[in-house]
Amino acid sequence: MTDFFVRHGMIYDCAWFLATVIGILVIALPLMLAVAMIIYADRKIWAAMALRRGPNVVGPWGLLQSFADGLKVFLKETIIPTSANKGLFLIAPIVTFTVALIVWAVVPFAPAVVLADVNVGLLYVLAASSLGVYGVIVAGWASNSKYPFFSALRAAAQMISYEVSIGFVLICVVLYAGTFNLSGIVLMQNGFGLGIVNAFGFNLLLFPMSVVFLISSMAETFRTPFDLVEAESELVAGHQTEYSSMSFALFWLGEYANVILMCALNSILFWGGWLPPVAWKPLYGFLINPAVTGMFWLFLKMSIFFFIFSWVKATVPRYRYDQVMRLGWKIFLPLSLVFVFLVSGWLMLTRYGAGA
């Protein structure tokens, strides 16, 4: 896009800036629309599993329910507790929402369809997503209320606990792919399974890690059965208890943007990203062009993972908080660390054995 503007007489710096702004809007605006739609889908899935109808009044089949809820929240008054730290109280939801958006800069949607195709994309994702804990902690502390602060501490402990095991899982993926670049990781999965299947997930050493990553991503985004942040009766609505209006809505937008991000990362890291499920040539460009086809496959895989997220939320009972911590520290952390050794040992024997 930068070249397009340069060819039409714009200087390079201005062309690059304009192209970057357009790229950001092309990602951010559809993402906001997607958040509205997956909230609707979430409610419909829960309703179907509970033999209910779900949203069905606002718009055809209830499709406009999320927009009606958004308008209602927008028109409400923003109430700030008198004893709260006003500056930090207002900054916290902005931090949560912004961090949820900036991670998408390195997510590849199709071949060459990515805002910033950096070599350390996976490190950027890990670093940027880790910043989300600041929004949670600041929200709990700035509210100047006992239980939101307890909930914020609980949320921070949970996020850090599962980020550790996620880090070791990502090491396993990087060892196999040989790169931190997300596009490179996707391309390494082309024909990975016996030259037929485009996925790391069918590797016996990486499949357990894909399950650990899926469960950890649920814990990282506070989805049931890991929503202990706001599940206990004394914690009310967690660190969001004192929030209202658009400040509350920003927390929700950030939470669901993170859920979509985790669905995308599950698809990209283990299940081939924009690649079709099997390495059959007609599947690579059967739509308008390879880019559109790639986006179709990625969105299809993300939809499957989102269904799994909703399915688990509708059917699995909550853990106690000590069980959540035990799963993260005593099961996932040792398991992922063992698989780092197994994967590296296997690669030394098979891939690098001749040169070692």
Sequence-ordered list of residues with C-beta below 8 angstroms from that of 214, at least 6 positions apart, any chain: 266, 305, 308
Over residues 15-39, the pLDDT tens digits come to: 888 888 888 888 888 888 888 888 8
User: Could you tell me which residue, 352 or 356, shows the higher pLDDT?
Assistant: 352
Specify burial of residue 77 (Cβ count, 10 A radius: 0-12, 13-18, 19+).
Answer: exposed
- Rounded CA-CA distance 112/291 in Å is 8
Question: 60 and 66 in contact (C-beta within 8 Å)?
Answer: no
Query: Global pTM?
Result: 0.89
- For 204-255, the pLDDT digits (tens) are 889 999 999 999 999 888 888 888 777 655 556 777 888 888 888 888 888 8
Most trustworthy range by pLDDT among 117-121, 261-265, 318-322? 261-265
Residues 76-134 pLDDT 10s: 888 888 888 888 988 999 998 888 889 998 999 988 888 888 898 899 998 888 888 88
pLDDT in tens, 43-58: 899 899 988 888 888 8
Residue whose pair of structure tokens reads 């485009």 in the numeric block: 198
Non-local (6+) Cβ contacts of 327 within 8 A are 215, 219, 319
Two tokens at 256?
A: 């669901």
Of 249, 273, 317, the C-alpha closest to 39 is: 249
Residue 303 confidence (pLDDT) = 93
- Render the burial of 152-188: b for 16+ CB within 10 Å, e for the rest: bbbbbbbbebbbbbbebbbbbbbbbbebbbbbbbbbb
Reported confidence tier of residue 267, pLDDT bands at 50, 70, 90: very high
Q: What percent of the chain has pLDDT over 90?
A: 26
Spatial contact of 335 and 208, defined as CB atoms under 8 Å apart: yes
Of the listed ranges 143-152, 163-172, 232-241, the least confidently predicted one is 232-241
Q: What local confidence, expressed as pLDDT, does residue 201 receive?
A: 82
Q: pLDDT higher for 354 or 102?
A: 102
CB 249 within 8 A of CB 301: no
Q: What is the pLDDT of residue 34?
A: 87
CA distance linking residue 58 with residue 73, whole number of Å:
16
Instruction: Give the range among 97-111, 158-172, 198-212, 279-293 with minimum mean pLDDT.
Output: 279-293
Is the pLDDT confidence value at 356 over 50?
Answer: no
pLDDT interval class at 355 (50, 70, 90): low
